[in-house]
Amino acid sequence: MASPLRVAMLVWLLALGVIAGSVKRADGAVPPSSMAKIRMMNSRGPYIAIVVPNSFEMNPLLQSPSFRADPNFPYLDILGRRFRFGKVENKKVIIVMTGLSMLNAGVTTELLLALFEVKGVVHYGIAGNANPQLQIGDVTIPQYWAHTGLWYWQRFGEGSNNELALESNGDYTREIGYLEYANYNNATQSEEEELGNLLNRVWYQPEEVFPIGGVPEVRQHAFWVPVDRSYYGLSAKITDLKLGACVNSSTCLPRAPRVVRVERGVSANVFVDNKAYREFLSSKFNATPIDMESAGVALVCRQLRTPFIAFRSLSDLAGGGSSLSNEASTFTSLAAQNAVDAVVKFISLLAS
């Protein structure tokens, strides 16, 4: 019979083997060498995380005199993402680029918050505009964000009062409402009659979320996700910020852009360059900025209970500009710089 000490040693060795095997299998994800560096950087935290969709939006921040890269450890590459370390206005930051789309935004934010000591997330970028009262170059700060790309697409022939499949289980809901493709019939008609709107209507749906304080696998629903209350209150102090109005000496906006706090912004995996849909989003949801990432970041921050705010600078009136081209191609650089200026000013006001 083995002694208690030998049994304990055997259990310890087996556990060590399991752990070693797990670490070895994890090499394809986060290698042990990276984990050591993560622990080192976390010991210097916590950080304000700056999450940005694309390089043309990120580069103005990296080139700003307000940003100083960490001289000893400027970045760490993990799973195709580069996490940059430094300071903005003397506040310790991690900067990460997500790439385009809700999926990339959510995956990158999840990875960021799972690996690093982050006390808050500041997201920024450019966006289409659904509010004709504002103009290109204005920086919007919505109080709420929603993902408006999760749909239940209803079958042809059913009306708005028909029960949706699985609605009784709580999987789908008519609570948020629908968009009807009233004038689209897919060019399908018989000799006797036109068949009508084969695309019928799509019903907007909330996301399923699983917050860290909840019961695992017991879902909650979220549609309008609020930004952090204290962050939103602080953002009122930058509404007098002076922003750029000219792309060059010959291309200027009719008025100086401004920072504007608005009620709602929406995100989906759709580049909206359509006047009718822009007007629908404005009238249905009172949305101002329309983008492809912010709600993804917001939903992950909600699940992980991390303070969050987003700044989106308007690059075009969605579907409402020149008939020959979209204004975004002209004003992207100006809009990106204005967003950076707003973010830098905001971070300067955060407590150390």
The mean per-residue pLDDT over the stretch 280-290 comes to 96
**pLDDT at 326 (0 to 100):** 61
Rounded-to-integer distance, Cα 327 and Cα 96, Å? 27
The mean per-residue pLDDT over the stretch 135-151 comes to 97
Band (pLDDT 50/70/90 cuts) for residue 75 is very high
pLDDT digits (tens, 9 = 90+) for 91-133: 999 999 999 999 999 999 999 999 999 999 999 999 999 999 9
CA distances from 78 to 29, 49, 238 (A): 8, 16, 34
Q: Among 308, 310, 328, 331, which residue's Cα sits nearest to residue 319?
A: 328
Band (pLDDT 50/70/90 cuts) for residue 277 is very high
Rounded-to-integer distance, Cα 234 and Cα 43, Å? 28
User: Which of helix, strand or coil describes residue 127?
Assistant: strand
CB 281 within 8 A of CB 290: yes
pLDDT digits (tens, 9 = 90+) for 191-248: 555 566 778 899 999 999 999 988 999 989 999 999 999 999 999 999 999 999 998 9
Is the pTM higher than 0.85? The answer reads: yes
CA distances from 164 to 180, 195, 207, 334 (A): 15, 22, 17, 45
Rounded-to-integer distance, Cα 28 and Cα 24, Å? 8
Rounded-to-integer distance, Cα 24 and Cα 341, Å? 44
Band (pLDDT 50/70/90 cuts) for residue 1 is very low
Q: Count CB-CB contacts under 10 A for residue 101.
A: 18
Give me the chain's average pLDDT, please: 88
HSE-up of 211 (CA within 13 Å, CB side)?
Answer: 13
The mean per-residue pLDDT over the stretch 25-47 comes to 83
Helix or strand run (H / E) with residue 223: none
